[in-house]
Amino acid sequence: MEFGVLGPVVTWHEGREHTIASGRQRCVLALLVLEAGRVVSLDRLVDALWEAGSAPRTARNVVQQCVSELRKLVAVDPGARLVLKAPGYALEVDPQRVDLHRFRSLVAAARAEDPAVGRAAGLRRALALWRGEPLAGADAPGLVPARQALAEERLAVLEECLTAEVESGRHAEAVPELTALVAEHPLRERPAELLMLALYRGGRASEALEHYHHTRQRLAEQLGTDPGPALRELHQRVLTADPALTLPTRDTPPPAATPRQLPAPPAPFTGRRDELDRLDTALHASNQGATVTISALAGAGGIGKTWLALHWAHRHTDRFPDGQMFVDLRGFSPTGDPTDPAVAVRGFLDALGVEPGRIPTDLDAQAALYRSLVAGKRMLIVLDNAATSDQVIPLLPGTPTCTVLVTSRRKLAALIDRHGARHLTLDVLDRDEARALLTTRLPADRATAEPDAVDELVTLCGAYPLALAITARTAAIRPALPLTEITAELRALGLEAFDHDDPAAGLPAVLSWSLHRLTEQQRTVFALLGIAPGPDTTLPAVVALTGLSPANARKALSALEEASLVERRPGGRYGMHDLVRAYATTTAHALPDDVRETALTRVVDFHLHTAHAADRLVDPHGTLVPPDPCTPGVRPLPLPDAATAMAWLEAEHATLLATQRTAAALGRHHVVWHLAWTLDTFHHQRGHRRDALAAWRTALDAAAHLPDPATRSRTHRHLGHACARLGLHEQATGHLERALDLAVRHHDPAEQALTHRTLAVAWERRGNVRRTLEHSRHALDLYRSLDQPVPEALALNAVGWYAARLGDFDTARDHCHAALTLHRRHHHPAGEAATLDSLGFIAHRTGSHRQALDHYHQALNLFRALGHTVEIADSLNGVGHPHAALGHHEQARAVWREALELYRDQGRDADADRVQRQLDDLDNPTTTSGST
């Protein structure tokens, strides 16, 4: 454990900084640290914390409690002890673990150095330990004198350091810092004297004399005194051009060349306008520059960080007349370890013209010398491809006149938190930018001749900058090959098309470098995410996929996000760019087969059983067909209510469809079938008719492998229903007749009833309402014999609806009222809403338009509460007719427009066309719309 008072009062343990939360504890710790190794009496601690005479009666107890808490903090390190020693307490710790004592040791060692350049470097090393105002955060009356004394001590050492630098010939480099020091302490004569000497030695005698004039004037105005003897003597020697003021030639270093280290800019460069503007904003935010971090998203390798940094840097070289320095920190490269900060600093010192013999051996001293040389200069430092914040921090200048541009695949959180770096995340290009990047690298006639191929190439590359560059290179070295052939090859090969023998020229290799700094567990999670079903995922699904605890899964995802391999999306979701995911999939193939299969089995079961629980909440009266037991250790997501269940189904819909495909590939036929069954209610309520058809077609293949004959009957029934919804009438009745035949053959009256209900729907869509009514009556008779009240109510409503369609309104009304009573008795809001909709139709067709409006509005309220968008659209269409009949044209127009929008969203073109005609009829009084 280490202790710090040269800035905020903190401790460090194993390299991690810990701030003391309690202000009083910080004050007590500060006093003990200042007197490390010596006893601090309890009375002195009390006197320090409170103004004289204001300490409460419990003051001693408060101090003792603070000491008790601090003792727990210190106890983590056996090398430090907070002990009770009369008449108070003592912090027993090696003085070198206290930054103040380390500072004083370094100062003492530096003063023994000779020549002056060594002394200056040593003092800089000592000053580098200061982190801000001493004892910051320890606000106690008794610490004010100590804070003032420490600030004065630092100022004296800084003056001593600047004296050594001016004496060693670094007068030009010292001018900016001396200028700032004089502005901060205008009445201190030593900084004024040093600045005057530094200016003179730099050939700026007139400025030195002008500076003396201003100093004398300021002293006279504020203190009523003249400058002291030393400053007056120096003034006289400058006036007489005393040769002794000039350093001997051998000690005056040659002027350093202005470094111009930027690599050539990328050409051509396209896009990134928003990012360039944000970098410009960061630069202009202060006249003193800014520190900016560019980190990448969705697989940082190849996303274009260096391209952007170099393009921006070359655009602004005029803003940095004192030079531009660049270093590749090799944080993510095919060979070797990341560049050691000492190597990078040494390269910068060489670029700044420091003679090898004058470069200190210690990294801290080298960094201090580097900061001294760039202090006050307008320079740009580009730190490319950083691995960690620790690699960057020694390379940061000490004054804000420099601008630092850092690129990394990681977010570099410490750089943001501790050094105020501005974070800029790079995503893939937008489509227009991606197309521009590709076309600017192709001959104009070639891109113009095949615009469709160019568009498809942009899509296949996912707007990923490196993928686009590789595609452009492929086209350039094959000028005779049509772009359509390159497109076909890319479509067939996928990620393989972006590979190359040269690691730096292939996307898979570039992406692979991001894995080098991950743990084995994190690499495994990355690989498994590549084969997980769905476009993205959530933490609970990743827990099931990996078998990790929630805490470890979260840590792994955070590490992948930090490495820019995974993107955190709204709603607690995690995703990857398609090309990054394709690379993750290739790494998954390197895993043992049993690891992959076990992971997929777990996540498939997680999705199936959570979806099953959601379906039971959404449709509690539906037929219960439970899936096989869950894989041991897999815990479905708990869903508290129907609204949460519906929201989860909505969010996971694409993933659940992908899960069914994954289950089919694994040969888990019961999972394939149960996912189609579980999703059917959701598909119907949300109008996902084509997804329902695809799910049941897949389930039909799986049903052939399942032993229960009822499964095959149910599958044909649901597949027939899905076909009917899409107008595939022949297929619909074919599957439904097959389902009915199987149900009769296996003596399954419940399945027969369900199939008759579905045949009623199919025949209605074919326009044969009499056949529809016939099947509905068969279903009703079967349900009455089975004593199933909710299905019986559904069948009663169906008979009522179809009887109304045929004009038998008395039969219709009786059946619907009986259905409504059953639905309400058994708390079935979906059935209640459907029956109210039927009663609204009956009332409208029998001239009771206001009663029709009442029924329709009740139905709509229930459907909206349930989120049944298909039925909402139908009821909106229905309620428009009594409004129109009553002359409420604006109300009719409003509900029909809403219905029209829903029908179009659901792909129900025929219904949308009918509603559009109804709207047209409202605007054309020569025609009327009298039916639904």
Instruction: Please write the tens of the pLDDT for every residue from 852-884.
Output: 999 999 999 999 998 888 899 999 999 999 999
- Which ranges in 289-427 belong to alpha helices (H)? 305-315, 341-351, 363-374, 389-392, 413-419
Between vectors from CA 782 to CA 779 and to CA 787, what angle results, nearest 5°? 120
pLDDT higher than 70, residue 79: yes
pLDDT higher than 60, residue 926: no
- Taking all residues of the chain, what is their mean pLDDT, rounded to a whole number? 87
pLDDT at position 112, please? 83
Residue that is written with structure tokens 């968008």 in the block: 869
What is the DSSP pairing of strand 422-426 with strand 291-296?
Answer: parallel
If one compares 514 and 691, the residue with the highest pLDDT of the two is: 691
DSSP conformation letters of 800-861: HHHHHHTT-HHHHHHHHHHHHHHHHHTT-HHHHHHHHHHHHHHHHHTT-HHHHHHHHHHHHH
Q: How many CB atoms lie within 10 A of CB 516?
A: 15
Average pLDDT for residues 698-724, to the nearest whole number? 93
Q: Is the Cβ–Cβ distance between 649 and 684 less than 8 Å?
A: no
Cα 487 from chain centre: 32
Rounded to whole angstroms, the Cα distance separating 225 from 219 reads: 6
Residue that is written with structure tokens 């009523």 in the block: 224
User: 3-class SS at 642?
Assistant: helix
If one compares 111 and 880, the residue with the highest pLDDT of the two is: 880
pLDDT higher than 80, residue 661: yes
Integer angstrom CA distances of residue 680 from 128, 619, 759, 823: 67, 10, 17, 21
pLDDT bucket at 257, cuts 50 / 70 / 90: low
Average pLDDT for residues 218-231, to the nearest whole number? 89
DSSP state of 337: P
Q: How many CB atoms lie within 10 A of CB 3?
A: 23
State whether the Cα torsion 304-305-310-311 is positive or negative. positive
Average pLDDT for residues 675-704, to the nearest whole number? 93
The percent of the chain in helix, strand and coil, each rounded to the nearest 5, is 65, 5, 30
pLDDT at position 505, please? 62
DSSP conformation letters of 25-60: HHHHHHHHHHTTTSEEEHHHHHHHHS-TT---TTHH
Rounded to whole angstroms, the Cα distance separating 221 from 219 reads: 6
DSSP conformation letters of 464-529: -HHHHHHHHHHHHT-TTS-HHHHHHHHHHHGGGGG--SSGGG-HHHHHHGGGTTS-HHHHHHHHHH
pLDDT at position 629, please? 92
Task: Count, in order, helices (H) and strands (E) of the chain.
Answer: 41, 14
If one compares 72 and 248, the residue with the highest pLDDT of the two is: 72
pLDDT bucket at 504, cuts 50 / 70 / 90: low
Token representation of residue 517: 């700094």
Per residue in 464-495, pLDDT (tens digit) is 888 888 888 888 888 888 888 888 988 888 87
Integer angstrom CA distances of residue 440 from 436, 444, 448, 485, 872: 6, 8, 11, 20, 50
Average pLDDT for residues 845-858, to the nearest whole number? 95
pLDDT higher than 90, residue 675: yes
Q: Percent of the chain, pLDDT > 90?
A: 42
pLDDT at position 295, please? 43
Residue (of 734, 808, 743, 823) closest to 777 by Cα position: 808
Per residue in 739-766, pLDDT (tens digit) is 999 999 999 999 999 999 999 989 988 8
Residue that is written with structure tokens 């409006």 in the block: 853
Of 211-215, 405-409, 845-849, which one has max mean pLDDT?
Answer: 845-849
Side by side, the strands of the sheet bearing 2-4 are: 2-4, 10-13, 16-19
pLDDT bucket at 319, cuts 50 / 70 / 90: confident
pLDDT higher than 90, residue 803: yes
pLDDT higher than 60, residue 294: no
pLDDT higher than 60, residue 297: no
Cis? peptide before 141, omega within 30° of 0:
no
If one compares 466 and 508, the residue with the highest pLDDT of the two is: 466
pTM, two decimals, is 0.61
Angle between helical axes of 593-618 and 539-546 (0-180°, round to 10): 140
Strands (E), 576-652: none
Cα 820 from chain centre: 50
pLDDT higher than 80, residue 165: yes
pLDDT bucket at 296, cuts 50 / 70 / 90: very low
pLDDT bucket at 247, cuts 50 / 70 / 90: low
pLDDT bucket at 774, cuts 50 / 70 / 90: very high
pLDDT at position 386, please? 87
The most distant pair of C-alpha atoms in the chain lies apart, rounded to whole Å, by: 124
Of 500-514, 522-536, 621-635, which one has max mean pLDDT?
Answer: 522-536
Burial-class residue 492 by CB neighbours within 10 Å (0-12, 13-18, 19+): exposed
Per residue in 383-395, pLDDT (tens digit) is 988 888 888 888 8
Token representation of residue 893: 């127009």
State whether the Cα torsion 802-804-807-809 is positive or negative. positive
pLDDT higher than 50, residue 682: yes
- The pair phi, psi for residue 535, each rounded to 5°, is -70, -25
Which are the contacts of 594, defined by CB distance < 8 A and separation ≥ 6? none
pLDDT at position 798, please? 93
Q: Percent of the chain, pLDDT > 70?
A: 95
Cα 655 from chain centre: 20
Q: Is the Cβ–Cβ distance between 636 and 609 less than 8 Å?
A: yes
Average pLDDT for residues 403-410, to the nearest whole number? 87
Cα within 13 Å of Cα(900), Cβ side: 15
Per residue in 565-620, pLDDT (tens digit) is 888 888 899 998 888 888 898 888 889 999 999 999 999 999 999 999 999 999 88
pLDDT at position 249, please? 43
pLDDT at position 834, please? 95
pLDDT at position 654, please? 94
pLDDT at position 621, please? 78
Residue that is written with structure tokens 């007349």 in the block: 321
pLDDT higher than 80, residue 429: yes
Amino acid at 801: W
Residue (of 328, 301, 296) closest to 509 by Cα position: 301
Cα within 13 Å of Cα(321), Cβ side: 1
Residue (of 91, 167, 165) closest to 127 by Cα position: 165
pLDDT at position 290, please? 45
Token representation of residue 889: 């044209």
The helix or strand, by DSSP H or E, that contains position 920, with its residue range, turns out to be helix 909-923
**β-bridge partners, 408:** 295, 386
Rounded to whole angstroms, the Cα distance separating 774 from 777 reads: 5
User: 3-class SS at 645?
Assistant: helix
Average pLDDT for residues 812-821, to the nearest whole number? 95
Integer angstrom CA distances of residue 525 from 392, 495, 775: 28, 20, 53
pLDDT at position 664, please? 95
pLDDT at position 245, please? 84
The helix or strand, by DSSP H or E, that contains position 18, with its residue range, turns out to be strand 16-19
pLDDT at position 694, please? 95
Token representation of residue 303: 């996303």
Residue (of 932, 807, 832) closest to 880 by Cα position: 932
pLDDT higher than 70, residue 197: yes
